[in-house]
Amino acid sequence: MRKDFLGLIAVVAAFVVGGTILMQSKILPEERAQDFRTLENISLQSQIQVIQEPTASDNTYIYAINKVARESWEIAKQDARVQAILDGSNGKALTIAAVQPSAFVSPDGKVTHSGLGQVIITANWQAVDGKQYASAKSFSSLDGRQGQSRQQIWNVAVDIDRDKVISIQGEQERVMTETLRANVVYGGMNIYMPDAAVAKAGSSVRWVNESNVPHNVVGTYKTEAGEEKIDSGFFRANEDWEHTFSEKGTFDYHCTIHSEEGMKGRLVIS
């Protein structure tokens, strides 16, 4: 009995000593886990690639979040169904965003990603008093008129490994209708209206959030004196944000969390 008791004490003592050594050396799984830093040990590769910028004759903006995501678009654009969407959106403002797959980089530089890609195609078009609104008009000429903005979104799933589009899901068309006011831009469900307008130098323009999700106004105000970076911060439903534009120039802006859905706009300061 005494020998068994002494043996038990020896076993317990061995566990205590071993555990103490492990804790002091910090090689316990819990110790190593608390030292793990996701952003230090695995980083998200983000190299935005602008594939096409809008022009006066073709209001299409195409970008990819990284090189692998760009492959998704290169595959998708060969699909007949995608081509039909693009042909049917002629004359509208198109935003094409290759947003998947995400690419992760380990500390040794190895890049990993899934084989599933995603491309978001967004078509936006606006009308004032029932007529297509395609170029910037002065706020004073828009005051009191009926504005309407429409948006159609398609989500394209791509199998990169098999080099093919596996599905296309179209979302319900979004429609926003407002009575336009001087120096006011309305923010709807991922839509700015009017998306282009002309304001006089020295005037203040106000952005009003009419949706139930937060938006912001981020962009570059370009004048003869130089460039100014503008960031409104987020404003929520029924909130607004205002900025005064003192010099002639242009202000191209977007909502940072809805840019893939084409939520962007332009002010011309005259």
What's the helix, strand, coil split of the chain in %, to 5?
A: 20, 45, 35
The torsion angles phi and psi of 2, rounded to 5 degrees, stand at -65, -40
Q: Which of 66, 98, 72, 83 is nearest to 158 (CA)?
A: 72
**pLDDT surpassing 70 at residue 34:** no
Q: Choose between 110 and 231: higher pLDDT.
A: 231
* CATH level 2 (architecture), domain 38-269: Sandwich (2.60)
Please count the CA atoms within 13 angstroms of the CA of 3 that sit on its side-chain side.
0
Q: What is the pTM of this model?
A: 0.76
Q: Choose between 174 and 39: higher pLDDT.
A: 174
Residue type at 189 in one-letter notation: M
Q: Choose between 56 and 51: higher pLDDT.
A: 51
Task: Compute how many other C-beta atoms are within 10 angstroms of the C-beta atom of residue 48.
Answer: 9
Which tokens is 80 given? 């007949």
Residues 6+ apart with CB under 8 A from 141: none
The strands making up 249-254's β-sheet, listed across from edge to edge, are 137-138, 196-199, 264-269, 249-254, 218-223, 226-231
Query: What ranges make up the beta strands (E) of 7-110?
Result: 43-45, 49-52, 60-64, 93-100, 103-105
The torsion angles phi and psi of 40, rounded to 5 degrees, stand at -95, -40
Task: Compute how many other C-beta atoms are within 10 angstroms of the C-beta atom of residue 249.
Answer: 20
- Burial label for 176, CB within 10 Å (0-12, 13-18, 19+), is buried
Per-residue pLDDT of 185-226, as tens digits, reads 999 988 999 999 999 999 999 999 999 999 999 999 999 999
DSSP bridge partners of 50? 63
pLDDT at residue 10, as a whole number: 47
| Residue ranges of domains in the chain | 2-34, 38-269
Q: Beta strand 146-159 with 203-209: parallel, antiparallel or unpaired? A: unpaired
Share of the chain above pLDDT 70, in %: 83
Q: Which of 215, 213, 151, 205 is nearest to 181 (CA)?
A: 205
Tell me if 256 sits within 8 A of 232, measured CB to CB: no
pLDDT at residue 149, as a whole number: 96
Tell me if 219 sits within 8 A of 254, measured CB to CB: yes
